Amino acid sequence: MGLGRYFCFQGIANNYKLIFVKVVSGMDEGRNFEKLGYENLQKNNIEDAKSNFLEALKHMEKAGDDTGQAYVLGNLGNIFFQSKQFDKAEDFYSRSLTFMEKLKDAKGIESSLGNLGSVYFYQGSLEKAEESYQKALEIMVETNDPLGQGIYNEYLGNTSLKKDDLKQAIDFYQKAKEFMELAKQDERKIQQLVDRVESLKKHPTYLKNKESALLAEVDSLTSTGQKTKVIAKLQDLEELYFQWKRMDKVVETIQKTIAVLEDKNDKISAGVCYANLAGIYLQMASDGQTEKVDEAEANFKKALEGVGDSDKRRNSYLMGSLGNIYLNKNQLDLAWEYYEKSLKAMQELGDGMGEARGYGNLGNVRSLQKDWDGAKEQYFKSLELMEKQENRPGIAQQCESLGDIFIKKEEFDQAEDYLMRASDLYEAMKEVGSVQEVQNKLMLIFSQPKYLENRKQQIREALKKPEAEKDSKLKLALLSDLGNVLFMANEWDEACDLAKETIAIHEKSGDKAALSAALGNLGSIFMQKQDYAASEENYARAIELKQELK
């Protein structure tokens, strides 16, 4: 809670600017003490400021200075509020309000009312707090002040929350958010209000009260035969139970909706509800109730029957969903059948992304059937369409799937190419988990004897070419790659000879950094050969060179 707009006191001022600080003439003793009070406030000398304002008040009373008294009383109210002396704060604010009303000072009246509201709030007099805030809000509405309306709506929300009236609190907070946005307030403040509303909407008390109200409305509308309105309220109730994570009640409510729709002979809408019900059963299955998969299957079929050919796109999604169920149940022929039907519908609709996903699904079926060529064919079709759509997540997924297939076919070079492409895409999208998964697959490839043998041959052929002899950097890069391959293949003797050859080249070139790295590699090779003396010697030389480079 904040205080009013008399002065900026330790960050308390209802988030408003100071209305004004009156010019001191030097002749008026009351104004002199008031000036001293402001100066002490700026220095945070609160007790001295209080004494100054009390002395100013005495002189102003004698002089009949109503304006001075109005503001000095407000400042004293702020001081006592800050020290949690709420009874004294209330007295000073009330007296200030009287003068502000006499002066017809709208801003002063609003600020006094707001300050009184805050006192009542902390005293626990919530009805009086609400009344004061409402009066202050009315002035903000009259002056068309969006920031003021935002602040007082928030205060009213806090008051309603304290009264456990969560519905009204949510209404006030939502209004506060709208006015704060209109006033272009800080995004963090607006987000706080959004978060508060979302939190309250999940509160058990709010959910229970809303449930009772909705159930009563459903009963009333049902008794008067207003079926369309009954459906709308049942859908509200379904959303409520979903937020409450009461899936059994979600199921029960959708079933009631379906009954009303079927009674109205609205087969298409009933079909949509069957699809929603199937989706809920799948969610329950993923949460451990595996027996719900069969109920999901049955309801997707009812949805297909209800929707029919009226909505080809929804029809396609439903068939794809059935394909997913059969895939997970390892009923692969049925999975293929429904995926194929879904794909055909997407092709007729001209839905490129839907078609791409369809081919991917068919690839998954063939993969589970261990038909690697068949899977490859479908994944390639999917990849081609994903590339046309420039869908990076889809491209990455299909490249990874193709990499998996080429691993199964022991075509490791191809597997490496597609997995490297998938890894680069996942990294660009900052999907750390996917990058790690693909990297693990690449490490599996790099450990395969067939891959290592092919890679050795490729590098050796490259080393024989004239350009490798002419380009020392290219030759060193190829030797480094060959050394890595030999190391992974556990061919220690050949790796050792190659490392020595590389060291000789670096010694000749005088590249101490590269020489240090090569000596470290040779030390690692000797460690694997269990020649610990040679390993230690090379490590020592590598460290010595590193020290020289510092």
**CATH number for the domain that contains residue 46:** 1.25.40.10
Does a structural domain hold residue 19? no
Number of helical (H) and strand (E) elements in the chain, helices listed first: 27, 0
pLDDT at residue 106 greater than cutoff 70: yes
Tokens 């041959």, located at residue: 457
Q: Which residues are 12's β-sheet partners?
A: 9
Tell me, what DSSP letter sits at residue 186? -
Written as one letter, the residue type at 540 is A
The answer, yes or no, to whether residue 545 has pLDDT greater than 80, is yes
Domain final position from 91, 126, 143: 143
Give the model's pLDDT for residue 12: 30
- pLDDT band at residue 243 under the 50/70/90 scheme: confident
Instruction: Tell me the C-alpha distance between 28 and 236, whole Å.
Output: 66
Residue 235 maps to a domain: no
pLDDT band at residue 10 under the 50/70/90 scheme: very low
Nearest residue to 214 (alpha-carbon basis) of 188, 241, 189: 241
In the numeric block, which tokens belong to residue 34? 């008031």
Mention every residue, 6+ apart, whose C-beta is less than 8 A from residue 291. Answer: 285
> Residue 365 pLDDT more than 60?
yes
What confidence tier does 309 reach under pLDDT thresholds 50, 70, 90?
confident
pLDDT, tens only, 131-176: 999 999 999 999 999 999 999 999 999 999 999 999 999 999 999 9
Residue-wise pLDDT tens digits, 196-240: 999 998 888 888 989 999 999 999 999 999 999 999 999 999 999
Closest by CA position to 343, among listed 325, 316, 309: 316
Name the domain count of the chain: 2
- DSSP reduced 3-state for 23: coil
What is the C-alpha separation between 294 and 285, in angstroms, rounded?
A: 9
Which two structure tokens, joined as six digits, stand for 321?
A: 């969903």
Residue 268 maps to a domain? no
Give residue-wise pLDDT tens across range 74-86.
999 999 999 899 9
The residue segments making up the domain with residue 521 are: 465-549
**Which of 112, 143, 174 is a domain's end point?**
143
Contacts 24+ apart (CB under 8 A), 44-47: 44/10, 46/79, 46/82, 46/83
pLDDT at 130: 95
Residue 430 lies in a domain: no
pLDDT given for residue 550 in this prediction? 78
pLDDT, tens only, 310-346: 899 999 999 999 999 999 999 999 999 999 999 999 9
Q: Does residue 343 contact residue 362 with C-beta atoms inside 8 Å?
A: yes
Give the pLDDT confidence score for residue 27 in this predicted structure.
36
Q: Cα–Cα distance between 413 and 344 in angstroms, integer?
A: 34
Identify whether 182 is part of a domain. no
pLDDT at 37 over 90: no
Domain presence at residue 370 = no
Of 119, 83, 92, which Cα lies nearest the Cα of 1?
A: 119
DSSP percent split of the chain into helix, strand, coil, nearest 5? 80, 0, 20
Using alpha carbons, list the distances in angstroms from residue 177 to 152, 243, 523: 11, 22, 66
The answer to which of 403-417, 423-437, 484-498 has the lowest mean pLDDT is 484-498
> Can you tell me the distance from the alpha carbon of 359 to that of 351, in angstroms, rounded to the nearest whole number?
12
Domain boundary among 99, 126, 143: 143
What pTM does this model have?
Answer: 0.67
Within a domain: residue 139? yes
- Does some domain include residue 396? no
